[in-house]
Amino acid sequence: MAEITAKVVNEFRQITGLGLMECKKLLQEAEGDLKKATVLAKERGLKNAEKRSGRAAKAGRIEVGFNDDNTAGAIVELNCETDFVARNDAFRAMASDLIKHLISTSDAAAELLAQKFILNPAQTVKEALMELNARTGENVALPRTDKFQLTGPGRVDSYVHHDNKSGAMVELGCGSKEQAATEEVKQLAKDLALQVVASNPLAIDRDGIPASLVEEQRQIIAKLMENDPANAKKPEQIRQKIAEGMLNKWFAENNLIDQPFAKDTAMGTVADVIRKVASATGGTPIKVNRITRYVLGETSSPEAGEE
């Protein structure tokens, strides 16, 4: 049996991320053979990871990123069980690596978890997550991801809150690559990503808000009108105008382009600012093609025992 020195134990810890006593135990089982111990650690870790997969994972982080020319961007939610692990270097690195994988891969047809992990093609994305599960001792889950890829001139940008618990991604369509490369458009994309996080619009414009939500809001307004004594003696035509005004106000608050521009409300609505930027960068219209917003825990696994 090879001698199990402190140097070997430390080397094994660097490879596996396991605790000191667990490393010693595995090395003893492998009779000091580092390769055998590594195989044992992986087998045991993956087995335990499977057992942990049913545990609630409501902590974690939102990660965002984009490629060098902002023609593609990605956002992920990576979950774990505690804030302690969410701050772990290996966990943070995995979130960042998943962004790189999503941006770099063109294999949109394959399920993400089954894809070869671009940073280590010897394993799949699922295997990389299971390995992190084993290293951290917590259930690690990847409930959702999004990728924006431009098909024409434009810009993709993103924003993540300082605590990595919320983030957003925005795709702008422009008239030309030159327009998309201007400082004004770059700043607009950043500002709108921040606005999406802060104001949580239901859609880009009022036409994009689901009809079911509109009908639900109509019912709420009707109930409010019915319960307000001040409306009792008003003619039906006046009551309808009041209700329509309330609905239009709700529309304006809940679609991105009609919201006041959060960075500087004196500049008008988001639509006003987009028009001004378009005019200042050649006159070709700029369009918000897509938005997405993530908040940590919105899709996390249920508490143990929940169905």
66/14 same-domain check: no
Question: In this structure, are 117 and 159 located in the same domain?
Answer: yes
Q: Copy the structure tokens of residue 100.
A: 């790189």
- Do both 197 and 95 map to the same domain? yes
Q: Starting at the earlier edge strand, list the strands of the sheet with 287-295.
A: 154-160, 166-173, 287-295
For residue 102, the domain's CATH number is 3.30.479.20
Query: Are 81 and 19 in the same domain?
Result: no
| 124 belongs to a structural domain | yes
Q: What percent of the chain shows pLDDT beyond 90? A: 63
| Rounded CA separation 304/23 (Å) | 30
- Is 136 within the bounds of a domain? yes
Same domain, yes or no: 145 and 291: yes
Q: Into how many domains does the chain fold? A: 2
Spatial distance between the Cα atoms of 287 and 204, rounded to a whole number of angstroms: 10
Residues 11 and 141 in one domain: no
Residue 105 located in a structural domain: yes
- Identify which of 30, 97, 40, 101 has the alpha carbon closest to the alpha carbon of residue 72: 101
Residues 136 and 186 placed together within one structural domain of the fold: yes
Would you state the pLDDT for residue 106? 76
Do 149 and 116 sit in the same domain of this protein? yes
76 within 8 A of 94, measured Cβ to Cβ:
no
Tokens of 80: 């774990």
Both 191 and 73 in a single domain?
yes
- Rounded to the nearest integer, the mean pLDDT of the chain is 87
Q: Are residues 197 and 48 in the same domain?
A: no
195 in the same domain as 88 = yes
pLDDT of residue 9: 76
Asked if residue 280 belongs to a domain, the reply is no
48 pLDDT more than 70: no
Mean pLDDT value of segment 73-83: 95
39 inside domain: yes
Q: How does strand 166-173 pair with strand 59-66?
A: unpaired
More confident residue, 239 or 42: 239
Flag whether the pTM goes above 0.95: no
22 and 150 housed in the same domain: no
> Is the confidence at residue 176, as pLDDT, over 50?
yes
Q: Which residue has the higher pLDDT, 129 or 31?
A: 129
pLDDT at 72: 96
133 is a domain residue: yes
Q: What CATH number is attached to the domain comprising 25?
A: 1.10.8.10
**Do the Cβ atoms of 63 and 97 come closer than 8 Å?**
no
Q: What domain range is 35 assigned to?
A: 6-52
Report d(CA 102, CA 74) in Å as an integer: 6
Residue 111 included in any domain: yes
Q: What is the mean pLDDT of residues 162-172?
A: 97
Q: Residue 28 falls within a domain, yes or no?
A: yes
* Higher-scoring residue by pLDDT: 217, 226: 217
CA distance 35 to 39: 6
